[in-house]
Amino acid sequence: MSDVSTFQPPRPSAALKTGTPSPPRRDPFFDNAKFLAILLVVAGHAIEGLQDVRAAHVLYLFIYLFHMPVFIVITGYLSRRFSFSSGKARKLLTNVGLPYVVFQIVYSIVEWRLNGGSLHVRLLAPYWLMWFLMALFMWRLSTPVWQQLRWPVAVAVVISLLSGLETVPALQMNRVLGFVPFYVLGVFLKPSHFDLLKRPLARVLAVMVLLGGLALAFIVDRHVSTEWTYWSSGNAHFHIDNLTGTLMRAGLLLASTVLAAAFLAIVPGRRTWFTPLGAATLYAYLLHGLVIRFAQSMGWYETEWLHTVPGVVTAGAAAFVLAGVLCTPPVRKVTRWAIEPRVDWAFTPLRRPKTRP
């Protein structure tokens, strides 16, 4: 989701003339995974208001167990070479920081216009889905630190478990710390690890795991609050002691990791018709919330038929279409100013490393 650039293959003749190496090609596997995951993100938000239908509640719980862990693992993997040099720090500001500020203001204005009252823009209190950009900003900044630790994943797991001891609403820190093991895991994964998931046996096992996860969600959906999958509240919010809460969070980490791996195992590794769309999932992520909020304000979710199994299926299918449309070139062209702003004028020129004669 964090990588919204589209790949343009270089002309061979130009590379031969300049003598410079061609830029690496995008791996279609990761673009495919991001596109399929954004479908689940948008569908999850689309059926969130229909959870009085048990099918919607089960699907919502199932999706939320792994859809963000998938994104975060991929984000960590694609961020493993992050440093404060070579312009990567300024890309963090322009590709994550600025869109966060812009859409935090946009969503604040939308809420003000839809619900009335006073206009409040709180940059340190991420609105709804904006928490991911805030978390991504902090996770990427921390990448060099994780790379210096001897047991980074274990440390991240401990931090995640400890994050439940109390609720820290500022900057959505419970989510930032709760999800951090998935980011750190992604940073230290290698291509060979993903190759293991592409084996035929892994794909068969993945289908079984996902079906088992869906069945488990059906069994426990009336006993487990979906708020656990948000990682946004402390144990006291669920009226349980810290020992029980820590055990619950450890179980969630394990279940989410297994389901995320299973999801990635069924992602096609070849280039498909939706591969180019997977390079622009940040557009769908930031824009679909506006459509959802508009639908809610128009009272569409109050339609009785929508609160049925066919209605849930229709809402999910519409969400898939919406996610795909928001990743298309026309939408990107119109909204690029906000999501991929060009502000090179605000930075000093990059210093190119001197080459030895």
Query: In 10 A of CB 113, how many CB atoms?
Result: 11
Long-range (24+ apart) CB contacts under 8 A made by 6-9 are 6/276, 6/279, 6/280, 7/279
121-123-129 Cα angle (round to 5): 95
pLDDT of 83 reads 79
Tens of pLDDT, residues 169-202: 788 899 999 999 999 999 999 999 999 999 999 9
| CB 175, CB 159: distance < 8 Å | no
Measured distance CA(125)–CA(282) in Å, rounded: 20
pLDDT of 273 reads 95
| CB 14, CB 145: distance < 8 Å | no
* Domain spans of the chain, in order of start: 30-344
Tens of pLDDT, residues 82-103: 877 767 788 888 899 999 999 9
Q: DSSP assignment of 260-304, as one string?
A: HHHHHHTS--S--TTTGGGGGHHHHHHHHHHHHHHHHHTTGGG-G
| CB 214, CB 58: distance < 8 Å | yes
Dihedral sign computed on CA atoms, order 114, 118, 121, 127: negative
pLDDT of 19 reads 47
Average pLDDT over residues 226-231: 93
Tens of pLDDT, residues 37-63: 999 999 999 999 999 999 999 999 999
Tens of pLDDT, residues 298-330: 888 999 999 999 999 999 999 999 999 999 999
The closest of 350, 320, 281, 275 to 59, measured between CA atoms, is 320
